[in-house]
Structure 1
Amino acid sequence: MKIAICEDDHHVREENSTIIKKAAQFLKIAVTVLMFESAEQLLFELPDIIPIDLLVLDIQMGKLSGMDLAKKIREKDQDVSLVFVSNYDDYVFDGYEVNAMGYVMKPLKEDKMTHILSRVMKKKVVEEAHLIIEFNQRPTKLYLYDILYVESLGHYLKIVTQSGSYECKGSLVKFSESLTDIFVQVHRSYLVNLNFISAVHQKDILLSNGTVLPVSRNQKRHVKELFLAHYRGLANE
């Protein structure tokens, strides 16, 4: 696992690096820790350090704050995990804007870092889950986290991802056996990724990209319960 620390205080930077390595040792995972003394330095070297699994950012730094840095990073990478470490709690709600994994008050503690690393590892496992389909007469790899929904079209399936759609032969029932429990059947013709559901209405569901899909009467209650449980779980992590 590759972790980057951006902190303008040399002593805090070294202390946080030591804490991260101890937490990783406890979890029995190998880590490489990269350290940067400013947001500008990290942005300058960013093309050379991707992929990064976790960015640990100080909030108050020189001309460019940790929050400003996070926003610039999100312009390039929507998925990298971000954690803020600060003396102030003024920016906690701003963290939601950049989809931060956590906001930790200084000093960083080993038990807190262990929890954060555990979550990053769990996220990596989810992100690496994939399946292989036959598309345009060749094997195509699709990551489960990238799939918005799957639609049954007779003897074919339409798999819609964040970057495009794919068609392959198959049945929805058989295909669902390859998926994780993050997918829910909302209708006899649709399987949907809970991560992309924005709202459950009386007769349909709204996805985060604006797509509206039907929800069957006998599935609506189940879908709504799973949807609420999923987001309550995310909020409590």
Structure 2
Amino acid sequence: MLRIAICDDERRARDMLRFSLEKILQEDKEEVVYEFSSGAVAVRWLKHHPGEIDLLFLDVEMEGISGIETARQIRIFDQKMYIVFITGFPDFVFDGYRVQALDYLLKPTDQGRLNELLQLVRNLVSKSFNEQFTFQNADGIYRLYLTDILYCYSDRRKVFVVTRNKTLSLYAKMEDVQNQLGAEFIRIHQRFLVNATAVEQINNKMVVVDGRELPLSRSLKAEASTKLAKVMLGEGIS
């Protein structure tokens, strides 16, 4: 699933780009899910919905904050979303590289160029799929990179996924989440699962992740401590 957003302060420009995209999007797999009329609105929404957008088409010349400034603010909390600038002036392109823009399109958008760029993003997203955890809750679909997840914990019927910036929840069993996340996520307690690469300290009673003390159960202590110690010493998990 490729999720796309458009940010442009001109309604006509958003409509034209969406129409061009809809000609080439793969049905039931890709869609334009959000449109923003200003950079400020885009930054505010994206900050509270991590992982919900894969590709953002961002106009450079907007009222209020510019596209470049919008991208700069987005990069403070999201380094992985693909950003493509839309502009009538190619001279800005060097500024785009400073905010890790994937590419840029000149207005009016060429359909062939748009198709090439979309295929590039498809390939990039496909390659990174195994490095991500995708799930859905009442607020939408989220795709988090495994390296961004610090730990998970369960409470009643929910599993809470904790990153440095946010905590998200889903209805699931901890065992199922553990299987999806993979070998580097270690069960340290019936209710806690940690990213071994994020662990800062282990002792007899707890595991410290990002300054937070998590309980280490007696029944899992020996196995979990051995696996975590190997990762902390750079030996990896066998």
**Under TM normalisation by the shorter chain, which class is it?**
0.5 to 0.7
What is the aligned partner in structure 1 of residue 106 from structure 2?
Answer: 105
Q: Kindly report the root-mean-square deviation, in angstroms, between the aligned alpha carbons of the 2 structures.
A: 3.1
What is the aligned partner in structure 2 of residue 40 from structure 1?
Answer: 40
Given the two structures, how large is their TM-score scaled by the length of structure 1? 0.55
What is the aligned partner in structure 2 of residue 7 from structure 1?
Answer: 8
Provide the C-alpha distance between the structure 1 equivalents of 2:80 and 2:233, rounded to a whole number of angstroms.
20
Provide the C-alpha distance between the structure 2 equivalents of 1:120 and 1:96, rounded to a whole number of angstroms.
17
Given the two structures, how large is their TM-score scaled by the length of structure 2? 0.55
> Cα deviations across residues 191-221 of structure 1 (Å, max 9, x unaligned)?
xxxxxxxxxxxxxxxxxxxxxxxxxxxxxxx
Does 2:84 align with 1:89?
A: no
The 3-state SS of whatever aligns with 2:58 is strand
CA contact (8 A) 1:56 1:85 kept: yes
Structure 1 spans left out of the alignment, 5+ residues = 143-156, 171-237
Residue 133 of structure 1: which of 164, 183, 190 is its match?
183
Residue type at the aligned position of 1:44: R
The 3-state SS of whatever aligns with 2:89 is coil
Provide the C-alpha distance between the structure 1 equivalents of 2:81 and 2:40, rounded to a whole number of angstroms.
18
> Cα deviations across residues 60-119 of structure 1 (Å, max 9, x unaligned)?
111200000000000010000000010011210111111111111101122222212211
Structure 2 spans left out of the alignment, 5+ residues = 132-180, 197-228
Cα distance change on mapping 1:86 and 1:135 into 2, 3 Å: closer
- Give 1:28 deviation, angstroms: 7.5
Residue type at the aligned position of 1:115: E
Provide the C-alpha distance between the structure 1 equivalents of 2:22 and 2:195, rounded to a whole number of angstroms.
34
What is the aligned partner in structure 2 of residue 72 from structure 1?
Answer: 73
- Give 1:32 deviation, angstroms: 3.0
Residue type at the aligned position of 2:98: E
Provide the C-alpha distance between the structure 2 equivalents of 1:44 and 1:30, rounded to a whole number of angstroms.
23
Cα distance change on mapping 1:84 and 1:133 into 2, 3 Å: same
> Cα deviations across residues 137-179 of structure 1 (Å, max 9, x unaligned)?
789889xxxxxxxxxxxxxx976xxxx8764454xxxxxxxxx
Provide the C-alpha distance between the structure 1 equivalents of 2:11 and 2:186, rounded to a whole number of angstroms.
54
The share of aligned pairs that are identical, in percent, is 30
Give the paired residue count: 153
